[in-house]
A and B are shown apart, each in its own frame.
Chain A
Amino acid sequence: MSAPHRPEDSPSVPVISTPKRGWNTQDWWAVGLGIVIFAAGFAAVLLNHPADVADRIARWQSTQAAHQELVASGDATKEALKQAKADIKAAQKAIAPNPLSAYLVTLREWKSDPREAFVSSKGDSQVAALVAMFAAIGLLFGIGSWALGRPPRQFLPGFALVAALAVLAQLLADQQVIKHFNLEYALWALVVGLLISNTIGTPRFVLTAANTEFYIKIGLVLLGGEVLFHRLLALGVPGVFVAWVVTPVVLISTYAFGQRVLKMESRSLNMVISADMSVCGVSAAIATAAACKAKKEELSLAIGMSLTFTVVMMVVQPMLIKALGMSEVLGGAWIGGTIDSTGAVAAAGGMLGETALQVAATVKMIQNILIGAVAFGVAAYWVTFVERTPDAPRPGFSEIWSRFPRFILGFVAASLVCTWLSSQGSWGDAVTAAVIDGTSKPIRGWCFCLAFVSIGLETNFRELSQYLAGGKPLLLYVCGQGLNLMLTLLMAWLMFEKVFPGAAASLAN
Chain B
Amino acid sequence: MLPRPLPTDASNACPVSQPPNWRALVCCACGLGAVWLGVLPQIAELPRWQAYVQRNHEYGIDPSAKFYTENPASADALLAIEAAQRLAPTAWGLPSPLPSESRVP
A235 and B17 in contact, given A176-B44, A364-B68 (Cβ under 8 angstroms): no
Q: Is the CB of A172 within 8 A of B32?
A: yes
Interface residues on B, range: 35 or more
Q: Is the CB of A346 within 8 A of B62?
A: yes
Q: Does A361 make an interface contact (CB < 8 A)?
A: yes
Against A, the Cβ 8 Å flags (1 = close, 0 = not) of B53-70 are 101100101111111111
Against B, the Cβ 8 Å flags (1 = close, 0 = not) of A217-248 are 00000010010001101111110000000000
**Which chain A residues border B47 with CB–CB below 8 Å?**
none
**Which of A3, A361, A423 touches B68 (beta carbons < 8 Å)?**
A361
**Which of A196, A342, A359 touches B65 (beta carbons < 8 Å)?**
A342
Instruction: List the B residue with the shortest CB-CB distance to A92.
Output: B75
**Which of B7, B29, B67 touches A368 (beta carbons < 8 Å)?**
B67
- Least CB distance from B48 to A in Å reads 12
- Least CB distance from B87 to A in Å reads 6
Q: Mostly helix, strand, loop or mixed at chain B's interface?
A: helix
**Which of A9, A57, A67, A236 touches B17 (beta carbons < 8 Å)?**
A9
Interface residue stretch chosen among A28-36, A40-48, A177-185, A391-399: A177-185
Q: How far is the CA of A238 from the CA of B87 in the complex (A)?
A: 17
**Which chain A residues border B10 with CB–CB below 8 Å?**
10-11, 13
Against A, the Cβ 8 Å flags (1 = close, 0 = not) of B72-104 are 011111111111111110111110000110011
- Least CB distance from B99 to A in Å reads 7
Instruction: List the A residue with the shortest CB-CB distance to B62.
Output: A343
Interface residues on A, range: 35 or more
Q: Is the CB of A236 within 8 A of B105?
A: no
Q: How far is the CA of A319 from the CA of B88 in the complex (A)?
A: 31
Q: Is the CB of B70 within 8 A of A441?
A: yes
Q: How far is the CA of A2 from the CA of B75 in the complex (A)?
A: 50
Against B, the Cβ 8 Å flags (1 = close, 0 = not) of A163-196 are 0000000001111111111111110000000011
Q: Is the CB of B25 within 8 A of A199?
A: yes
**Which chain B residues border A234 with CB–CB below 8 Å?**
78, 81-82
Interface residue stretch chosen among A143-151, A402-410, A473-481: A143-151
**Which chain A residues border B82 with CB–CB below 8 Å?**
234
**Which chain A residues border B78 with CB–CB below 8 Å?**
231, 234, 362, 365
Q: Is the CB of B11 within 8 A of A503?
A: no
**Which chain B residues border A327 with CB–CB below 8 Å?**
none
7 contacts between A and B (CB under 8 A): A6-B14, A177-B49, A178-B40, A199-B21, A346-B71, A359-B77, A365-B68
Given contacts A85-B79, A180-B49, 10 further A-B contacts (CB under 8 A): A2-B3, A68-B86, A114-B37, A178-B40, A226-B68, A234-B82, A343-B65, A346-B62, A362-B77, A500-B92
